[in-house]
Structure 1
C-alpha cells in the first residue's frame, strides 16, 4: 500500500509539473506572433491613413479645366497640367504659375519628353497664338476691345478690398452653375491675354 501511494504521488507530481511547464512555455512562444501581427496591423493602418490623406489633398480636376490650361499653354503635357490642378484646384492659379515660371513641374516618377530640335518661333508669337484662338473660339473679341480694362480694374480693386479671394457659392441650379463657370473661364482668358500683352510691352521697352 505504501508503494502504491508513493507511485500515485510521483505520477501526480509529474502531471502537475508537465502542466506547469506547458502553462509557462505556450504564452512565451505565442507572444512574438501576436506582436508581429499587431505591428503589421499598425503599419497597414498607417499606410491606409496616409493614402487617404494624399487622396483628400488632391482636388477634383475636370476635362474643361485641363482644356483651358492646355489651350493657353499647348507645349505642356496633360500630366503636368493635371498634376498642378490637383494641387491648386484652380485654373487661375495654374495659369499664373505658368506665366510666372514659364512652365509647370512634372509629376513624381515621370520622365519629361525631350522636344525635337526645330525652328522655334518667338515667345510673343507662341504666347499670342493660343490666346487668339481662345478669344475667337469663345467669341470674346468684343469684350477684349471694350471692357478688358474695366475687368482688370474691377478685379484688382475687389482683390485689394476683400483680401484673399473667396470662392463663390455653388448654386443648386445647373444653368446658374454653367453661367458661373463660363464667366470665370472668360475672365481668366482675358486676364491671361492682358498679362501677356503687358509682358510683351515690358520686354520691348527693356530691349
Structure 2
C-alpha cells in the first residue's frame, strides 16, 4: 500500500483568526488621524477667499468701521462683513454689544500692525463714560456736533427714510467714498444717541433704587 502525500490545509479556526487580525489592522490605519488634518477649534470656520473685486469692497467697508473704531483689526472687520453679508451697521452693532470682534482663524489680509487692545466693556459708569468720550472725539473729529443736536423727530423721520431708500453700490470710486462717509457719519451719530439713551435709562434706575 503506497503512502499518500498529505497536502497542508487551512482549517476554519486559522481562517477566522487571519480575518480577525486583518480587520484589526484595517481599523487601526483607517482610524488614525491624518497628519494634514487641521486642529481648529469647534465652530471656527475658515473665511471664504473673496474675489479681488469683493476684497476691495470689503476693505473699503472695513476702513469705514476702523474710522469709527480704530481698535478693530482689518481682518476682524472683513470676517464679520463676510459673515453678515456686508452690513457695516451689523458690524458696528455687534461691536457695541460685545465690546470686541473675534479674529478669523486664518488671516484674510496681512495686518500692518497688531490691533490695539481695549478693556472689555461692562455695564459700569466708567465704561459708559469711556465710550461717551470716544464718541465725542469722533463727533469732534468729523464735525458732527451740529447734527447731533438735531431734534429726535427729525432723526426718526430721517432714519425711516434711509431704511426705505438704500442707495445701490456705485462703480464710481468718488461716489463710493461719499456714500461710505455718509454712512460713517450716520452710524457715529446713531451710536452716540443710543449710548445717551442707555445712560438716561441707567440713571433712571438708580433714582428708582
Query: Normalising TM by the smaller chain, what interval?
Result: 0.5 to 0.7
- Is contact 2:76-2:101 (8 Å) kept? yes
SS in 2 for 1:55: coil
Matched residue count: 145
TM-score (norm 2): 0.54
Counterpart-to-counterpart distance in 2, 1:115 and 1:172: 36
Which runs of 5 or more residues in structure 2 are unaligned? 1-46, 108-114
Larger helix fraction of residues: 1
Structure 1: how far apart are the matches of 2:93 and 2:67?
Answer: 14
Indicate how the Cα distance of structure 1 residues 70 and 113 shifts in structure 2: closer, same or farther if over 3 A, else same.
closer
Does structure 1 residue 131 correspond to structure 2 residue 135? Answer: yes
CA–CA distance in structure 2, aligned partners of residues 175 and 71 of structure 1: 17
Alpha-carbon contact 1:72-1:130 (below 8 Å) kept = no
SS at match of 2:48: helix
Aligned-partner Cα distance in 2 for 1:170–1:148: 29
Q: Output aligned runs, 1:32-181, within 5 Å.
A: 54-56=48-50, 60-62=57-59, 65-70=61-66, 72-88=68-84, 89-108=86-105, 122-146=126-150, 150-156=154-160, 159=163, 162=164, 167-181=166-180
Aligned-residue offset at 1:61: 2.1
User: What value does the CA root-mean-square deviation take over the aligned residues?
Assistant: 3.7
Tell me, yes or no, if the aligned pair for 1:71 and 1:131 is still in contact at 8 Å. no
Tell me the TM-score normalised to structure 1 length: 0.54
